[in-house]
Amino acid sequence: MQKLFYKVYLEKQLINHPHTQQLLKRLKLTSSQPILIERLETVFNTVHKPYATKTKTLSLIIAEKRGQTVKPAPPAYGNKSSLREKHFYFIHAYNCIYSCEYCYLQGYFNSPDIVLFVNHDTILKELETHIAKTLSHSATPYFHHGEFSDSLALSHLSGELAIYFNFFKKHPHAYLELRTKSANISTLLEQAPQPNIITSFSIAPQHLITRYDKKTASLKTRLAAIKTLLDNGFPIALHLDPIIYTEHYLEHYHTLAVALRKVVGQNTHLLRHISLGTLRFAPNVWKQVNHNHPISTMTQEEWTATPGFDRKIRYPAPLRKWLLHNIKTILIKATLPADRIYYAME
């Protein structure tokens, strides 16, 4: 079997940490095999490592997350109809094993290497603080897992899902959303489904996955994973994001909507929301995407810098509104619940 990581680094003070030992065991490594380092910054993000190197020299760094681990999400997060939700994300990992052409991580970090943090107790304490404070203001705390990574792709190695399932079971008034383009649900299925833990899948027509979502699970595999979770009582969400304009997009999204309706079946009550968002880039990400993928068809459309809340580069407003309206209409015609569809980051 091909080795997943070119090298494995470990902050030396963590060598006897129980989560480190469990992670090394899953990686089939002994304590003497990782390369010991003083701090994460010794090998990560200090010197630029080209994004393209992840195909051959992707390394793993096992580290402690220092500083703030839970942060407020941008104002445009979540369903705006849920006015009493307060959204946060928490940092449990950096980077992703997938190679999506539009991925914002290529403009966020100086390295594509994977970082897994093992000090989950620190994160749990911060989550506890934010839950108490948010509930005291009569709001609902909603936490996003996978902001800088994929929630499920390495879950069989990190072993962290059990930690967060146990925590949120004790906090039924707080919500956790796991974000993924993976179909790696084996570890998830080891947990009992909870109404306040939602697994959200990024979904797109297969031709877009093939063209832009390199190494991710196919649409067929993602749909099978969604069906398995629904049949086992797990709440799910769908993110049709990013929507990328292509010729015949209406036909492609119609086919996708019909497939989604079939997979959801009688489990509509477990489908929490469907978000729609068009392709967008922060200026630094736009620069890196054009550098890393100079002949990508994705960047050949007309683009405009958006004034306002986030200054991102987007399709012109008329095109965005047209895409979002048409795809929402397609979903509603497929009898997916209209009241759970919202526009993301608009």
What does the pLDDT look like over 148-191, one tens digit per residue? 999 999 999 999 999 999 999 999 999 999 999 999 999 999 99
Mean pLDDT of 110-135: 98
- What is the rounded distance in angstroms from the CA atom of residue 31 to the CA atom of residue 29? 7
Q: Which fold has domain 8-343?
A: pyruvate-formate lyase- activating enzyme (3.80.30)
Structural domain spans, the chain: 8-343
Give residue 31's pLDDT.
84
Q: pLDDT tens digits, residue range 239-260?
A: 999 999 999 999 999 999 999 9
**pLDDT reading at 76 higher than 90:** no
The mean per-residue pLDDT over the stretch 31-52 comes to 91
Whole-structure pTM value: 0.95
Q: Is the pLDDT score of 82 beyond 70? A: no
Task: Give the contacts of 135 (CB within 8 A, at least 6 positions apart).
Answer: 141, 173, 174
Q: Which residues contact 306 (CB under 8 A, 6 or more apart)?
A: 280, 312, 313, 314
The number of helices, as runs of H, and strands, as runs of E, in the chain is 10, 18
For CA atoms 100, 275, 316, 284, the dihedral sign is negative
Between residues 83 and 42, the one the model is more confident about:
42
What are the tokens at 104? 């914002």
Give residue 309's pLDDT: 66
Distance from the first to the final alpha carbon of the chain? 44
What pLDDT score was predicted for residue 196?
Answer: 98
Q: How many CA atoms lie within 13 A of 158 on its CB side?
A: 29
Q: What is the pLDDT of residue 163?
A: 98
Name the token pair of 70.
């839970």
